[in-house]
């Protein structure tokens, strides 16, 4: 796990790469890679790569990056882990490839030499990397199917730049900090910035599951090689296989956990009172992991309440014999850490504080790698959206076919709803509820588009909504459209909420503590195995399947426990932040994420992360 960056002065009249800029971008990411740094520049100084290393596989100097192939043709800078690298290496060796290290990085070089861009189909893992071809004078970039690892780029028509962090690109001084209205509007709508946008017009995210080849004519549009929606659609083109669903999925779960344990350092785990993290610890034990270190965070404010996960997490730890720590986080620690949290937050988000503290606790225990249960709800239907979105669409599809009716009703009822203190989403039910995209916006939206006029400049709002086109953006996550309602919601949750918020927050919050977080439930191979059975399990039965996957199943007290989420007392803590200049809403909202405190928190984050430079 690392921080990567680079630049390519592809235009014939562009200035050579500035070495000091490369170093500034690289070293802004020192927390991502405190174990070493590297820099490579081409002889003509028109291409350069930087690298910060967090050594996980092949801890020796032979794993140093940027790494060149033996013949000098290819150079790679790589962030992530390739879990099937050993099998790929053995296969490459049978075809004559000779290796100089034990690293997964070198496998990328040999695989690219043999297969070119098609190499991405062979990779199982989380990754973002760039490979320079000195013969073709081209740069190949790729990002993993789910977007677990970030990769941002900027192209000014002369020079192409990339890095693992948005703020790192800005730190180099070669990229404009002008605002991107679509990214700002997207944050207010969803509580996170939807890719490919950032809050800066000059910086884009390379979308998950895509690759790009930059050559003499610059950067083309990214090329998609993996789609979550397509995986579901293809799997459901025919009836599900006759093999037992539970047995198939549980076998795939065991395989995923086993592969995610590949490392030359100890692999620990985040442990809550939930099924996902507990089952993964049990599966880690089944896969042969010993002396597992587990970490739980707890809060005095939750003591004795349902949200207090410490007691049940300790029960799971005892059951699987882990070396367990319960770490108490206080409001005073939150206040002290808040400046660092805001600095580490690469893009504005209303989430991530929970991961910040559990990652901090894991690093205090000496861990460099931790397993997280993120992704179980998206895979097995654990969110209310799996029930609510199909219901809304079923109820409102027919009246929703009259778009003028929904807009008319909304215009007439917004003032009434505000005066009566009703849910501000209610006026939008008819306008949005009849489609999967609209119903999902109602479910996950922090604000709805018409509410933003109270918070954003009119011109910025109009431009941002036009560029973002939120309903069209959501609908694109369903191309091609899966057959079942369950699969459609799963594709939306995985491609939007999980990718833009949960995975991104996990990355910045963990890497700020030099901790690699692995997510075995967010895996394209596992998805392909589970997709044919999508919809056979609701949140309850899906969690029973997961909880019973280890040879020693989770206690029923864990499996039957109502879902709480990985929460913090931030509703109280956020009041310690300085007063926000914007008015407060005071409405009641549909889901936990849309509670009044979350909307207030979003304006505070916007003040610190956006308003200083982009609003």
The domain ranges of the chain are 2-226, 230-381+494-614
Backbone dihedral angles phi then psi of residue 462, each to the nearest 5 degrees: -65, -45
4 touches 50 (CB < 8 A): yes
Geometric angle at alpha carbon 347, from 20 and 451, rounded to 5°: 145
Distance in angstroms (rounded) separating the CA atoms of residues 194 and 496:
7
The confidence score (pLDDT) of residue 436 equals 96
**Cut 0.85: pTM above it:** yes
Which two three-digit tokens encode residue 614? 């982009």
Q: Which residue has the tokens 């965070």?
A: 297
Give the tokens for residue 209. Answer: 């599951």
Structure tokens at 584: 């407060």
- Of 166, 195, 87, 141, the residue nearest 613 (C-alpha): 166
Count of C-beta atoms within a 10 Å radius of residue 402: 12
* Contact in structure between 16 and 46 (CB atoms under 8 Å): yes
Helix, strand, coil share of the chain (percent; to 5): 50, 15, 35
Q: How many other C-beta atoms can be found within 10 angstroms of the C-beta atom of residue 24? A: 17
8 A C-beta contact, residue 193 and residue 351: no
pLDDT at 613: 42
Task: Tell whether domain 2-226 is in CATH 3.60.20.10.
Answer: yes
Question: 336 near 24, Cβ under 8 Å?
Answer: no
CA distances from residue 493 to 43, 87, 400, 488 in whole angstroms, order as listed: 46, 32, 23, 9
Environment class of residue 29 by beta-carbon count within 10 Å: exposed (0-12), middle (13-18) or buried (19+)? Answer: buried
Total residues belonging to the chain: 615
Residues of the chain with pLDDT under 70: 1, 240, 306-307, 400, 563-568, 571, 574-597, 600, 603, 607, 611-615
pLDDT at 265: 97
C-alpha distance from residue 101 to each of 58, 70, 105 (Å): 7, 11, 9
For residue 585, the model assigns a pLDDT of: 32
Contact 21, 171 (CB under 8 A): no
Q: What 3-state class would DSSP assign to 395?
A: helix
Q: Which CATH superfamily is domain 230-381+494-614 in?
A: HUPs (3.40.50.620)
Burial per residue of 383-398, b for 16 or more beta-carbon CB atoms within 10 angstroms, e otherwise: bebbebbbebbeebee
Q: Which residues contact 132 (CB under 8 A, 6 or more apart)?
A: 6, 8, 42, 47, 49, 74, 75, 76, 138, 139
Residue 6: which H helix or E strand, with range?
Answer: strand 2-8
pLDDT of residue 562: 72
| Cis peptide bond prior to 109, omega within 30° of 0 | no
Strands across the sheet containing 323-329 = 323-329, 293-299, 267-270, 369-371, 516-518
Contact, 507 vs 349, CB < 8 A? no
pLDDT, position 569 = 75
């Amino acid at each position: 796990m690392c921080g990567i960056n680079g630049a390519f002065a592809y235009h014939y009249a562009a200035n050579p790469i500035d070495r000091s800029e490369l170093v500034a971008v690289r070293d802004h990411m020192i927390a991502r890679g405190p174990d070493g740094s590297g820099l490579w520049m081409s002889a003509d100084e028109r291409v350069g790569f930087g690298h910060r290393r967090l050594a996980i596989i092949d801890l020796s100097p032979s794993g140093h990056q940027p790494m060149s192939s033996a013949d000098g043709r290819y150079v790679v800078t790589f962030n992530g882990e390739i879990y099937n690298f050993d099998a790929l290496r053995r296969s490459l060796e049978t075809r004559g490839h000779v290796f100089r290290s034990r690293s997964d990085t070198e496998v990328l070089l040999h695989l690219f030499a043999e297969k070119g861009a098609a190499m991405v189909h062979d990779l199982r893992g989380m990754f973002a990397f760039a490979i320079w071809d000195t013969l073709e004078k081209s740069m190949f970039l790729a990002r993993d199917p789910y977007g677990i690892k970030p990769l941002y780029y900027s192209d000014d028509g002369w020079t192409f730049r990339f890095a693992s962090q948005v703020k790192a690109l800005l730190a180099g001084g070669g990229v404009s900090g002008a605002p991107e209205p679509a990214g700002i509007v997207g944050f207010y709508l969803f509580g996170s910035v939807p890719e490919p946008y950032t809050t800066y017009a000059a910086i884009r995210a390379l979308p998950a599951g895509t690759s790009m080849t930059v050559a003499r004519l610059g950067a083309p549009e990214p090329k998609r090689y993996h789609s979550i929606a397509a995986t579901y659609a293809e799997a459901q083109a025919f009836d599900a296989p006759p093999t037992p669903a539970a047995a198939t999925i549980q076998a795939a779960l065991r395989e995923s956990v086993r592969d995610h344990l590949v490392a030359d350092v100890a692999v620990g785990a985040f442990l809550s009172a939930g099924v996902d993290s507990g089952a993964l610890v049990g599966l880690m034990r089944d896969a042969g992991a010993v002396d597992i270190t587990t970490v739980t965070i707890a809060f005095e404010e939750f003591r004795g309440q349902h949200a207090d996960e410490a007691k049940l997490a300790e029960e799971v730890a005892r059951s699987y014999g882990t070396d367990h720590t319960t770490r108490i986080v206080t409001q005073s620690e939150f206040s002290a850490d808040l400046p660092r949290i805001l600095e580490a937050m690469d893009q504005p988000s209303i989430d991530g504080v929970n991961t910040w503290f559990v990652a901090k606790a894991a690093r205090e225990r000496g861990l460099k790698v931790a397993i997280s249960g993120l992704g179980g709800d998206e895979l097995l239907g654990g969110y209310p959206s799996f029930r609510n979105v199909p219901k809304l669409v079923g109820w409102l599809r027919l009246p929703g076919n009259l778009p003028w009716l929904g807009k008319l009703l909304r215009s007439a009822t917004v003032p009434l709803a505000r005066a009566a203190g009703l849910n501000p989403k209610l006026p939008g039910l008819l306008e949005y509820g009849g489609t999967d995209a609209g119903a999902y916006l109602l479910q996950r939206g922090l604000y709805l588009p018409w509410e933003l006029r109270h918070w954003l400049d009119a011109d910025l709002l109009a431009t941002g909504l036009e560029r973002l086109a939120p309903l069209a953006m959501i609908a694109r996550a369903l191309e091609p459209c899966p057959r079942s309602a369950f699969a459609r919601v799963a594709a939306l949750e995985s491609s939007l909420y999980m990718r833009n918020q949960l995975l991104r927050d996990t990355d910045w919050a963990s890497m700020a503590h030099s901790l690699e977080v692995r997510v075995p439930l967010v895996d394209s191979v596992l998805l392909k195995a589970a997709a044919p059975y999508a919809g056979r399990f609701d949140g309850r039965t899906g969690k029973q399947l997961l909880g019973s996957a280890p040879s020693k199943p989770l206690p029923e007290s864990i499996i039957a426990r109502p879902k709480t989420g990985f929460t913090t007392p931030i509703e109280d803590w956020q009041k310690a932040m300085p007063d926000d200049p914007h008015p407060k809403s005071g409405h009641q909202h549909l889901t936990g994420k849309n509670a009044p405190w979350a909307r207030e928190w979003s304006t505070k984050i916007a003040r610190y992360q956006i308003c200083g430079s982009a609003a």
